Structure 1
Amino acid sequence: MNSVDDRREHPEFDALPPGLRLNQTQFIATHNSCHRIPVPDERFPWLLGADLDSYRYDHLPFARQLGEQNVRGLELDLYPDPDGGRYRRPLARRWRGRGEIGDPALARPGIKVMHGPDEDYRTVRAGLVGALEDIVGWSAAHPHHVPLVIQLELKRGWPFSRLVGGVGVPSWSAPGGSASTGAHAAATALDELDDTLRAVAGDRLLVPDDLRIAGKSLRASVLEDGWPLVDDIRGRIICFLDAGDENSSHHRRTRAAYTRDRPNLEGRVAFTTPAPDQPDAAIVMRNDPRGESADHIRALVERGFVVRTRADVPVSTAKRNDHARVRCALDSGAQMISTDFPVAGRAFRWGDGTFVAQLPGGVSVRPNPVTAAVRSPT
């Protein structure tokens, strides 16, 4: 069944007016979507810092986030593990005299999903393959959904844990191959990431080559010719890389490796998040939607970029009952708005317990307040 037929049979699911393009929508995502609250006696300030409360937020399994909480974006914190078993003995567990984590996914080679391998390791799904299978399974059961957007944060080791015997995190950009894919020695963890995404999500993926117009950069393609119509890409999954601030050395190294000989992401699976003037720019990250940054986000979305921003920071925004930041995020026009509190009740520990970041009416998607009225390229 194609997306148009499915829309006719399920008009109420992810309902939008016809004719909207992807960048003319707005939806909620979860931040650190794999995160589970650390074990109380493993919250060591030496590893986590003084603000231990900032780790006291919790997420449901991915299918429940997508189904019960109406989010359409997820963030997966990723760590390479080419040989398997690297993250089975977190430092926080060792300091409490506890043994290896029993999850068999941690023993297998392949990219892992967790916030921090030594100090904040509790996760909804330990392996990327399992996480993607959960997401693809929900997608297959709800083929009319608007595109799911997955932020792939390429993590490094936490500096304090390394000083006291924590695990070393392999490079994303250095050659090394992987036992999980049989990749040759010149392959990088980035290549393994692409291979894993293709193997699990397959044709559901919407990749840069699907948007790029012959003879144009990816940036020019989306800004001049437009993003696809939502009704043409229902049931699809979009991934983008998050390697930190676009000016950081980690971001520069990672992007250079991912775009080597592929300046417009030719043949790649994920989008990058470079500065807006770069040829591979299509998705941009701007974490703070307040003040001058709100104007900057609005200018970016008016030009045709897809922007991800954050409605809150765990858990200080909820502690302050700062609903104004949520309004700033919604009003900015950013298409993807990340939160740790996508439904009422998740912030019950903090402030007056009412903090929530969701679209009006709690819907899964709505016309973008800035771009929906703008005439699309034809």
Structure 2
Amino acid sequence: MYNLKQVTFNEILQYMKKIIFTLLLGSSIGVFGQNIPLHKIQVIGSHNSYKKAIDRKLYEYLLQEDENVSTLYYEHPAIETQLDLGLRNLEIDIWKDAEGNKYANPSGAEIAGKPFEWTKEMAEPGFKVFHMPDIDYQTHQPSFVKQLQALKAWSEQNPDHETIFITLELKDDKKDPSSKYHFEDIQEINRIIARELTDKHLITPRELKRTKNFVQWPTIDASCGKFVWIIDNTDYRLKLFDKIALEESSVFLNVPFEHPKSGCMIINNPYDDNIPEYADKGVIIRTRADDSTKQARNNDYTTFEQAKKSKAQIITTDYYVPSKLFPSTYKVIFDDNSYVRILP
């Protein structure tokens, strides 16, 4: 303990500065978030967050056909469980199913020898949440609308939660023209997000202030209880989203800094030299700590360490807890055992 009679004012000041600095670098955002813009946060989250593991029997069958199937052998608990753990980034994939039943009977279920649990739900029309037809089809929630409703319910039960960043990837099958997206599909996705989450729970592109050299986000404190959605597509689907007016868009686009809707980027390689440059301009960037189970199988933290110091604000992983599917102690978490911190 300091004895106030024996120390100078400058010594006390330096001591207080050390305390504040420690808090700023840690997960205790609290009152300090009131004046810190959101692009100064750093969070850890999950990749393909909805995903259950491929059934073991199906996995072993597929592995005999193609050893690369091992890259798909990972799993997550329910999204709400991940949020309870403290993760503040999610990834959701959706498939177009305008009439229903398109994905209700995956062929892999027959090989697995187990009935597909979501056949009834998959019979309904609407956008579906899963990874790959017939092979990697297991999911915690097949309905995009119901997943949004669950996210909103969790948010309202935890109204002071840090901002949750969600990347949304629109999946299609080049061999199946009916799976291709059209502008009306994109408009519907945009409307669904706005309708289910409402303005109360969204930060949208129109709220950002952009100058020639900077993108200004609201503060961390003002952003609590809200979601930021980022489209993880770079092809025709991105162009379709870009047709929606800035004032009407519910989602951010993975676009260059110079774009009038700039604010977010996806740069999966944490060694990319562009990350710190764009981060300093206020762009929120998603990168990866691991990929295709490689780092977890080798207990290799090199990529995660680079992601932490890259200035990317969102770090995604399949292993915020160690895998139960193969021997590994690999776990992506900050040094203070949290998944959220202020960027050092």
TM-score normalised by length of structure 2: 0.84
**Residue of structure 2 in register with 1:376 after alignment:** none
Q: How far off is 1:287 after superposition?
A: 0.6
**Residue of structure 2 in register with 1:285 after alignment:** 266
Q: How far off is 1:102 after superposition?
A: 4.1
**Residue of structure 1 in register with 2:329 after alignment:** 354
Amino acid at match of 2:340: V
Equivalent residue for 1:256, pick from 215, 218, 239: 239
Amino acid at match of 2:169: E
Amino acid at match of 1:259: D
**CA distance in 1 between partners of 2:66 and 2:259 (Å):** 36
**CA distance in 2 between partners of 1:362 and 1:231 (Å):** 21
Q: How far off is 1:56 after superposition?
A: 1.6
SS at match of 2:316: strand
**CA distance in 2 between partners of 1:283 and 1:260 (Å):** 17
Q: Does 1:134 align with 2:124?
A: no
Where do 1:1-378 residues align within 5 Å?
Answer: 15=30, 17-18=32-33, 19-43=35-59, 45=62, 49-68=66-85, 70-94=86-110, 101-157=117-173, 170-172=179-181, 174-175=182-183, 187=184, 189-203=185-199, 204-211=201-208, 213=209, 220-221=210-211, 224=214, 226-243=216-233, 246=234, 251=235, 253-260=236-243, 262=245, 265-290=246-271, 293=272, 295-343=273-321, 346-350=322-326, 353-369=328-344
SS at match of 1:255: helix
**CA distance in 2 between partners of 1:147 and 1:38 (Å):** 31
- Structure 2 gaps of 5+ residues are 1-26
Q: How far off is 1:276 after superposition?
A: 3.2
Q: How far off is 1:274 after superposition?
A: 1.8
SS at match of 1:200: helix
Q: How far off is 1:285 after superposition?
A: 0.7
Asked whether the equivalents of residues 14 and 145 of structure 1 are also in contact (C-alpha less than 8 Å), the reply is: no
**CA distance in 2 between partners of 1:39 and 1:266 (Å):** 44
**CA distance in 2 between partners of 1:34 and 1:222 (Å):** 38
Query: Between the two proteins, what is the percent identity of the paired residues?
Result: 25
- Structure 1 gaps of 5+ residues are 1-11, 176-186, 214-219, 370-378
Amino acid at match of 2:316: S
Asked whether the equivalents of residues 318 and 350 of structure 1 are also in contact (C-alpha less than 8 Å), the reply is: no
SS at match of 1:135: helix
**CA distance in 1 between partners of 2:239 and 2:63 (Å):** 33
SS at match of 1:41: helix
SS at match of 2:167: strand
Amino acid at match of 1:208: P
* Alpha-carbon distance change, 282 to 136 in structure 1, aligned in 2, over 3 angstroms: same
**CA distance in 2 between partners of 1:102 and 1:193 (Å):** 22
Q: How far off is 1:168 after superposition?
A: 6.2
Asked whether the equivalents of residues 48 and 91 of structure 2 are also in contact (C-alpha less than 8 Å), the reply is: yes
**CA distance in 1 between partners of 2:97 and 2:133 (Å):** 11
**CA distance in 2 between partners of 1:123 and 1:137 (Å):** 19
**CA distance in 1 between partners of 2:329 and 2:156 (Å):** 34
SS at match of 2:145: helix
* Alpha-carbon distance change, 368 to 96 in structure 1, aligned in 2, over 3 angstroms: closer
**CA distance in 2 between partners of 1:222 and 1:113 (Å):** 38
Q: How far off is 1:255 after superposition?
A: 2.0
Q: How far off is 1:136 after superposition?
A: 1.3
Q: How far off is 1:350 after superposition?
A: 4.2
**CA distance in 2 between partners of 1:35 and 1:259 (Å):** 28
1:261-313: per-residue Cα shift (whole Å, max 9, x none)? 63xx33111111023332222101111113xx1x3211211122110000001
Amino acid at match of 1:354: T
**CA distance in 1 between partners of 2:127 and 2:256 (Å):** 27
1:41-71: per-residue Cα shift (whole Å, max 9, x none)? 3235499842222122110111110112x10
Q: How far off is 1:195 after superposition?
A: 1.7
**Rg bigger for which structure?**
2
Asked whether the equivalents of residues 38 and 219 of structure 2 are also in contact (C-alpha less than 8 Å), the reply is: yes
Q: How far off is 1:319 after superposition?
A: 1.1
Asked whether the equivalents of residues 41 and 342 of structure 2 are also in contact (C-alpha less than 8 Å), the reply is: yes
* Alpha-carbon distance change, 338 to 96 in structure 1, aligned in 2, over 3 angstroms: closer
Q: How far off is 1:226 after superposition?
A: 1.2
**CA distance in 2 between partners of 1:71 and 1:96 (Å):** 31
TM-score normalised by length of structure 1: 0.77
